[in-house]
Amino acid sequence: MIDIIVLGAAAGGGFPQWNSNAPSCRRARAGDPAALPRTQASIAVSGDGTHWFIVNASPDLRQQIGRTEALHPNHGLRSTPIAGVVLTGGEVDTITGLLTLRERQPFTLLATAPVLALLDANPIFEALDRTIIPRRALALDVPTALALPDGAAAGLTVTAFAVPGKVPLYAESGPDPAAIVENGETIGLAISDGTRQALFIPGCARMTDSLRARLRGADLVFFDGTLWTDDEMLRAGVGQKTGRRMGHMSVSGPDGTIAAFAALDVRRKILIHINNTNPILLDDSAEHQAARDAGWDIAFDGMRIQA
C-alpha cells in the first residue's frame, strides 16, 4: 500500500498569498467555496498508514501537521508518527519547515548531495541535531529503502531522479544564474511499495525524453502545476519573472504539461505546487475545467489517495 495525504497543494506563498490583493486571493480569503485556500506544497506518504514520511517541509508544516490527524502524537508525552523527511529541492518553500521539527525528535532527513550541501552551508539548520536527525544522501536512480527511526523497514522505497530545474533563487550566482540544469538540484521521486508506484514531481522546467520514458504508463503522478501560462505573473502585474525563469513549465500551451502528457497513458494525473495566480485554483474558471477535461485532478489540502 502507498497511502498519500496532500498536506499542501499551493506553490510558494500559498493561496491566498499573505500580501496578495488579487481577485482570486480575495475570493479565497472571503471563504468562496470555489476558491479553496491551500497551503504550500507538501505530501505525506506511508506504507502502513501508521508511520509517515513528509515529502518537502514547507513553511506551513506546523499548520499542516496540526490539521492532519494521522500526523499527531499518539503515545507517551512526546512522540510523532513522522519517521522522516524527503526533500526534492532546496527552495525556501521545501526546506523552511524543517525548523518546525527541531524539538529533538528522531527522524531521518533524506535529500540529494547538492541539497544537503545547501543545508550544510546554513548554520541555522544545525538546530536539527545531527546526532538524532541523521542526514542521508539520496543517490540518483538508486532505490532507497525507507526505514523507521529504530531501523525497521517502513515498507516503501524511494528513487530520486533528476528533472530539469534550477538552483534556488537565493543560491543563484555566476554568469547564467537562471541556467536549467539536470544534476540533482531538482528531483522527482518514485515511491514504491514493491508492487505499485507513485511519482512526485512538484517542480520541472521542461519535458525530456528520459522523463517521458519514466512517466509513460504510470499509475499515479503528481506534477508541477505552478503556472497556467508562462507569463501570467507578468500579465497580472504581480511579478517580474516568467515560469521558465523560475524553473517551471506551464500547464497550458504546445510545450505545456497537458500537451506533454497527452500520449503518455498515465492512469491518474494530479497537478500540485499551484501558484496563487493560476486560475485552475478557481473551481469555476475555464482553465480549471480545461485541465479537468484533459484528465487532470487539481490537488487540494487534505486530499488522500491510496495507490
* Measured distance CA(233)–CA(248) in Å, rounded: 13
Query: Which of the residue ranges 47-56, 125-134, 225-234, 296-305 would you say has the lowest mean pLDDT?
Result: 225-234
Render pLDDT for 102-120 as a digit per residue (tens, 0 to 9).
999 999 999 999 999 999 9
Local confidence band at 180 (pLDDT 50, 70, 90 cut-offs): confident
Joined together, the cell numbers standing for residue 281 give 485554483
* Whole-number pLDDT of residue 185: 82
Separation between Cα atoms, residue 48 and residue 67, nearest integer Å: 20
**pLDDT for 156:** 98
Q: Is 117 helix (H, G, I), strand (E, B) or coil?
A: helix
Residue 238 has a CB neighbour count (10 Å cut-off) of: 17
Distance, CA of 290 to CA of 190 (rounded, Å): 27
Quote the CA–CA distance of 46 and 49 in Å, as a whole number.
5
Is 199's pLDDT higher than 70?
yes
Q: Which pLDDT tens digit goes with each residue over 60-111?
A: 999 999 999 999 999 999 999 999 999 999 999 999 999 999 999 999 999 9
- Before 168, cis peptide (omega within 30)? no
Q: pTM higher than 0.85 for the full model?
A: yes
Tens digit of pLDDT for each residue in 20-61? 999 999 999 999 999 999 999 999 999 999 999 999 999 999
- Each residue's pLDDT tens digit, 228-248: 998 887 887 777 777 677 778
**133 near 98, Cβ under 8 Å?**
no
CB atoms within 10 A of CB 71: 20
Dump the DSSP string for 140-207: BT--EEEE-TTS-EEEEEEEEEE-SB---GGG--SS-TT--B-SSSSEEEEEESSS-EEEEES--S--
Give residue 243's pLDDT.
Answer: 60
pLDDT score of 153 more than 80: yes
C-beta of residue 55 within 8 angstroms of C-beta of residue 45: yes
Whole-number Å distance between alpha carbons of 61 and 41: 10
Task: Give the pLDDT of residue 66.
Answer: 98
Q: In 10 A of CB 255, how many CB atoms? A: 13
At 245 the pLDDT is 75
- Count of alpha carbons within 13 Å of 235, Cβ hemisphere only? 9
Residues constituting the chain: 307
- As a whole number of angstroms, the distance between CA 180 and CA 186 comes to 10
Tens of pLDDT along 244-280?
777 789 999 999 999 999 999 999 999 999 999 999 9
